[in-house]
Amino acid sequence: MNLDIVILAAGKGTRMGSPLPKVLSNLAGRPLLAHVLDTASNLKRCKLHVVVGHEARKVKQAFSSNKKINWIKQSEQLGTGHAVKQALKHIRHNSNVVILYGDVPLISENTVQRLAKLASKGPALLTFNKENPTGYGRIVRGSRNKVQAIVEEKDASPIEKEISEVNSGIMAFKAQDLTRLIGKIKNNNKAKEFYLTDTIQEAYHEKLNIQSLKLTDIDEVLGCNTLEELQTLERAYHLSVAKKHLNRGVLFANIERVAFRGDVSIERGAFIDENVIFEGEVFIGSGAKIGPGCIVHNSSIGKNAELLAYTLVEESVLENNAKAGPFAHVGVQTKMDDGAEIGNFVEVKRSHIGANSKAKHLTYIGDAKIGKGVNIGAGTIFCNYDGKNKNQTIIEDGTFIGSNSSLVAPLRLGEGSFTGAGSVITKNIPKGKLGVGRGKQVNLNKKK
């Protein structure tokens, strides 16, 4: 089955109170439209059409790297039927067509596939029941519970307004049916717009076999017209992603208090505490523990590794059994090997920490290559910047760095070497030697 997806993304979004087109509003760190495109792009034999109008240039620019999109301009916003009509000449005649919306981002791939399959039997619409259906088009059914029409709120009679089954707006057709039915709809309604929903009444008059698919998870069709509704959508998105991970064996302290702002892969048996934020491409291995308040950005956390409370990890790799935190900052381009540890108020950047090496307290490590089994005492500073260049410090296996040391790069500390506490080390230390660089203590009598 060929599948043409038409995504309507021409609206202004005036009530959002933003200068951006509504479909560029941010959901979980990405534009609303990006989520819809992701879902559609996963479908087989699919061709993507996006209808744009308001600030079309900005919308197209935001997705300029996606060469699979066929952009279609709706110069005047005359309703959903008019918007779909602009796409008709681009649709393959032998395909099934699904109409999606750029501001309804949680629709699932499975739901789209099921609706598209139904369209082979006749025009298909996605419906759901709503306790308070105000503002929604009502599904009018006749004998044998067959769909007869969709009546918009503005045009509904008092009796029709009592109907709780409503239209999601998402519909599917055989291409030839859609082309014919769109040509029949009129704008003789209070809004003077061409409603896509009127195609259902035309299909009923043609005695087509109208199909319907009723959702159980209505979060899939949540949209937004205001910032308050966007907040509701944000919560629903993160909860939906958390549930998917939960059902795959990931453990959570509270699935309602985790944010997923990117492509996040978590293996079975990992544990995620409250108020954790994942951003970008993230991998969490099995048995890993992510403590409360942690932020993981474009990073990989290995099996049985652990992030303690309020640790930030950015563009880095923690191998199996590595440990960071609490209140640690694993900065960009850092790699921590198996069993490596950094502790509270330790910051690391552009460094490689070898297996079972440790920096447990109040330390800055920058531009360093640290071997295996190294111990870095509290208060140590890697002085990597000379005012012009970043310089590297190399510490070989088994070295012991005394507390409150300052290591002035470029520098090499040989295997099994030591530094005395409070030293400023400016010269290389050979293998097995002790480096001490501090002023001689003098004890003076107290003045009377």
What is the C-alpha to C-alpha distance for residues 14 and 434, in angstroms, rounded to an integer?
69
Q: Which of 90, 245, 352, 361 is catalytic?
A: 361
Positive or negative, the CA dihedral 144, 147, 148, 150 is positive
CA distances from residue 394 to 16, 62, 410 in whole angstroms, order as listed: 53, 43, 8
- Is 361 noted as a catalytic residue in this protein? yes
Q: Is the peptide bond before 326 cis (omega within 30 degrees of 0)?
A: yes
Looking at residue 354, the DSSP 8-state letter turns out to be -
At 295, list the tokens.
């932020």
Q: Give the number of other CB atoms < 10 A from CB of residue 12.
A: 12
What is the C-alpha to C-alpha distance for residues 154 and 159, in angstroms, rounded to an integer?
13
What is the C-alpha to C-alpha distance for residues 31 and 63, in angstroms, rounded to an integer?
10
β-strand partners of 429: 413
At 370, list the tokens.
């640290």
284 and 303 Cβ atoms separated by less than 8 Å: no
At 67, list the tokens.
């060469």
CA distances from residue 109 to 139, 149, 367 in whole angstroms, order as listed: 24, 26, 44
Cα angle 320, 326, 331 (rounded to 5 degrees) comes to 65
What is the C-alpha to C-alpha distance for residues 87 and 274, in angstroms, rounded to an integer?
45
The DSSP element (H or E) to which 250 belongs, if any, is none
What is the C-alpha to C-alpha distance for residues 30 and 15, in angstroms, rounded to an integer?
20
The DSSP element (H or E) to which 245 belongs, if any, is helix 227-246
CB neighbour list of residue 433: distance below 8 Å, 6 or more residues apart: 414, 417, 418
What are φ and ψ of residue 260, in 5° steps?
-115, 105
CA distances from residue 348 to 284, 340, 358, 407 in whole angstroms, order as listed: 20, 12, 12, 14
Which residues are known catalytic residues?
A: 361
